[in-house]
Structure 1
Amino acid sequence: MKDLDSAGLDCLAALADERSFERAAERLSITQSAVSQRLRSLEAQVGQLLVVRSRPLRLTEGGKILLRFARQLQALRSDVVRELGERAAPHERIAIAVNADSLATWVLPALDPLVQRGLEEGFGLELVVDDQDFTHDWLRQGEVLGCVSTVKQALRGCVVQPLGVMRYVAVASPDFVKNHLGGELNAGNFAHQPFLVFNRKDDAQALWVSKALGVRKPRLRERFVPSSEAYTRAVCLGWGIGVTSELLVRPFIKSGALVALQPQTSVDVALYWHQWKLEAQALGAPGRVALLDQIGAALAAGARSALGKRQPG
């Protein structure tokens, strides 16, 4: 196969992000016909359709393979631009996927030095949020270049490193414990109590009940609050029992705004950082650390600081 057209790859990435030809054209500052022409040229080059022209449009399996390459090419190009002392194009950014609780606690402080420097260098960053059990799918499909995930095994072409263990504990407001639990949560009253759940992918509550109370496959009364900060606020207001990151609720427990239920019991979630391999030699600058590698190093250092030295076994 001849060298793939970079302009066509940029169009493919824009289409994957924007899910429409009109918005992709606006992002790239070209016409819709130019986007269509570049995509057709790329499809002709590889001999297969890359995009299903639906609403919203979606990528074929071949399109997802090329999208991974397009993302890596854009990351390498951004590094070259930084090496030359120029600013990256406005539409170019490095996307990584993280779980909401990590984003609400340690990810932003970990990335802050890089982002502050990026204000001068002009590189873009996109944080995609999903459940830690599903962020890996974003990496596999080529939507992001790195992810914080519970998956331990690296994809082919990727590297992985352990970040540490995020501990999840059960909490409730003092009034809720007094008025609804009679002072404690137990196997006799849990089924009648509302549990706050982040979203339909969240199973921390059922795991905690199984572990703490010895109940197999518990059926819970659920109230959904899909925001880490709002979730904590809802528990403080007495909406129900929460099972959430100990990092997030630690100050509330310390102040007395929340009470830990069976504090000896927790659900421990091992986290890993995955990223695509981007060879520094490809930048024409051996010894220069690629931006994606810098992001991975910053996240690893931030996780060690926030999560402690405990590592998954």
Structure 2
Amino acid sequence: MRTFDTDALECLAAIVEEGGFERAAVRLSVTQSAVSQRLRALEAQVGTVLLVRSRPVKPTSAGRLLIKHAMQMRLLRADLETDLQDLTPGAGALREEDRISIAINADSIATWALPALGPLVSEGLPLEIITDDQDFTHEWLREGQVLGCVTTLKQALRGCKVMPLGAMHYVAVASPAYAAENCPKGLTTHNFRQIPFIAFNRKDDLQTEFVSRACGLRRVALIQRFVPSVEGQVRAVLSGWGASVLPTLQVQSRLDSGELVNLAPDVTLPVNLYWHCWNLDSVVIDRLTAALTTAATQALKVPG
């Protein structure tokens, strides 16, 4: 079995994670020339191109395999440091370049996930959270760029294990002034086409799913505006931009205070979430899994 230089593997991973050679050099505290030399040496050893020189750079199929290997090496180092800390507290700490990457959907980040991960970060785990739509976070895991993800995918990916987290429930909300002027009777089959819905991005299909469910329609077409932040979506709704379908966990306090109104009080959209991670014997993975599943059990309802 071939062995690969750890610095070269980290160089490859850094180029992809940072989006280019210059930023990778800054992160690794080496010259840009050294980054290029390490990559060329690794490509020569493998016998194929590892990166597509685009903007930003993207890994080839071989490059994704080696990045996953680099991530696994980071995990081994993280496990070792964790074990050493248990034996001799203060003996060492993980380096920033040994960051542990996971992918979590934005709604979970904005509600229940960050408090769950806080204790691990406080103990020194160099955690990187990558955000994406809940229907797409598993692609980061599939490509080996993260060791775990929160996603709507139920079936375990190859080489991974999966655990149900619960269901996030979504409601349609608007500001009282907007609702009074544009939909005083709430969301109906007669007015949904005239209401702009604030979505996270073009991947976000929660708005159409909710309206389809609420109105009993198979397919719907909506006017949509895009704000790539859960908190930003809330602010846009409060400012009268239109309506939005948002997590109950995010908006319940504003509904209770009257800052927002529920446009369809009898309808909620449950979205089941799952935690996928590498199926490896790892202290770090076990602690991440325990933290996320425990927090989700407390915050989310059991999937139906």
TM-score by length of 1: 0.90
Instruction: Give percent identity, aligned residues only.
Output: 53
1:224 shift after superposition = 1.7
Three-state SS of the structure 1 residue aligned to 2:96 is coil
Three-state SS of the structure 1 residue aligned to 2:97 is coil
1:279 shift after superposition = 2.3
Name the stretch that deviates more: 164-173 or 231-240: 231-240
1:298 corresponds to 2:291:
yes
1:298 shift after superposition = 0.3
The CA distance in 1 between the partners of 2:56 and 2:206, in whole Å, is 32
The residue number in structure 2 matching 1:180 is 182
Residues 135 and 147 in structure 1, CA contact (< 8 A), matched pair in contact too:
yes
The CA distance in 2 between the partners of 1:142 and 1:45, in whole Å, is 21
Residues 163 and 303 in structure 1, CA contact (< 8 A), matched pair in contact too:
yes
Alignment of 1:25-174 (within 5 A): 25-84=25-84, 85-118=91-124, 123-174=125-176
Instruction: Give the superposed CA RMSD.
Output: 1.5
The CA distance in 2 between the partners of 1:131 and 1:174, in whole Å, is 28
1:274 corresponds to 2:287:
no
Deviation per CA, 1:228-277, whole angstroms, max 9, x where unpaired? 01211222232211111111011011111111122221211110111113
Q: Which amino acid aligns with 1:134?
A: F
Three-state SS of the structure 1 residue aligned to 2:92 is coil
Three-state SS of the structure 2 residue aligned to 1:54 is coil
Q: Which amino acid aligns with 2:284?
A: L
Q: How many residues align?
A: 298
Gaps of at least 5 residues in structure 1 are 281-289
Name the stretch that deviates more: 189-198 or 143-152: 189-198
The CA distance in 2 between the partners of 1:263 and 1:15, in whole Å, is 48
The residue number in structure 1 matching 2:257 is 255
Runs of 4+ in 1 over 3 A off after TM superposition: none
1:43 shift after superposition = 2.0
Q: Which amino acid aligns with 1:26?
A: V
The CA distance in 2 between the partners of 1:209 and 1:255, in whole Å, is 25
Three-state SS of the structure 2 residue aligned to 1:235 is helix
Q: Which amino acid aligns with 2:101?
A: A
1:182 shift after superposition = 2.9
1:26 shift after superposition = 1.8
Residues 72 and 276 in structure 1, CA contact (< 8 A), matched pair in contact too:
no
Against the structure 1 CA distance between its residues 54 and 206, is the aligned structure 2 distance closer, same or farther, given a 3 Å change threshold?
closer
1:149 shift after superposition = 0.4
The CA distance in 1 between the partners of 2:296 and 2:278, in whole Å, is 19
The residue number in structure 1 matching 2:230 is 228
Deviation per CA, 1:124-157, whole angstroms, max 9, x where unpaired? 1111111000111111112211110011111211
Three-state SS of the structure 2 residue aligned to 1:91 is helix
Deviation per CA, 1:175-219, whole angstroms, max 9, x where unpaired? 222111133221112211221111111111111111111223211
Deviation per CA, 1:83-136, whole angstroms, max 9, x where unpaired? 333111222201111111100000111111112222xxxx31111111000111
TM-score by length of 2: 0.93
1:291 shift after superposition = 1.4
